[in-house]
A = this chain, B = another copy of it.
Amino acid sequence: MKRPTIKDIAAAAGVSKGAASLALNGRSGVSETTRARVLAVASSLGYRPSATARALSSASADAVGLVLVRPPRALGDEAFFFQLIAGMQSEMSCALLLQVVSSRAEEIALYERWFAEHRVDGVFLVDLLVSDPRVELMSSLGMPAVVVGGAGHHGALASVWADDYAAMTSVVSHLKSLGHRRIARVAGLPSLLHTVRRDAAFSSSVVDGVVVYGDYTAESGASATRELLGAAEPPTAIVYDNDVMAVAGAEVAGALGVAVPQRLSIVAWDDSVLCQHGRLTALSRDTFAFGARAARALLAVLGGAVPTDVEDVLPELVVRGSSGVAPGSA
């Protein structure tokens, strides 16, 4: 038993294909009695329009896209993206086309292809670079897109972000209020826009603050921490750019006999089960809600709304056991 097509519906209702199409899509051009008849027939036959055929005649593809550029193996540990995706899904009725690639070039080719093939109606852009070619690409393709997590305004694109600058400032002031002066930072990839933002906020509020760059993996967090703690004047507090690096750092400190938080305070960016269990002070943002917000923004753009920038609520610092008064203070 094959699925009924619009032709079957039309035949069963005694109208033409075109009339059936108009009736099913709630458009004018058919009488109300005809429309009712077509709809009745369609529901009784269990008619489902083919998204493929619909996409072909330049209508909606009923899907949005997300491309992640990562070594796939490292991805699995990053709860952030999965939370984000889960949040997106919660607000989307359409499907998400997801692909993981290993280079920026592939990513761009994929966006172009998806759009050319009418596979997606729009896309999310994550991991925004300092001067990101994708922004221009989206504009030139005329492809609806939402920038996720890239602070500020990006060409004609809608944007959803949290204020990394203010967040970093709040973290530093918390540490300063505890008496910390030698504060270091284990940052993420320096090519990413939010890293630069945080860097700027960090260096403007911490004098002589040391920054070491990692790549969000436990290994990089561990080695960065070893480097920092091995210095002549080791920091009394370290701010990490994600949870995985922070946890690894805490572990290294323990192995080196550096007591947390007595001799070293640790703050993680992005809260997670990992931080909760490790009792790590963390900058908590609701990534799930963030994803949901991004989805709403994209749906709005797809619905024809003029692209706007939405600023997410400021991440909140959740103080747990890993941060405390600086050694020598109070």
Contacts and interface: CB of A to CB of B under 8 A. Distances in A.
A240 interface: no
Copies of the chain in the assembly:
2
A104 interface: no
Contacts of A206: none
Interface string A63-104: 100000000110111110111011101100001111110000
B86 A277 contact: no
Interface in A201-253: 218, 244, 247, 251
Contacts of A87: 72, 76
A3 B98 contact: no
A61 interface: yes
A309 B213 CA distance: 45
A97 B96 contact: yes
Interface stretch (A17-25, A45-53, A178-186, A297-305): A45-53
Given A76-B86, A83-B76, A274-B277, A48 B288 contact: no
A32 interface: no
A86 B99 contact: no
Contacts of A287: 76
Given A79-B79, A81-B82, 18 more contacts: A48-B116, A50-B116, A51-B119, A52-B61, A52-B117, A52-B119, A53-B56, A63-B97, A72-B288, A73-B86, A73-B288, A76-B83, A77-B272, A79-B82, A90-B100, A96-B97, A273-B274, A277-B278
Interface of A: 3, 48-53, 55-56, 61, 63, 72-73, 75-79, 81-83, 85-87, 89-90, 95-100, 112-114, 116-119, 218, 244, 247, 251, 272-274, 277-278, 287-288
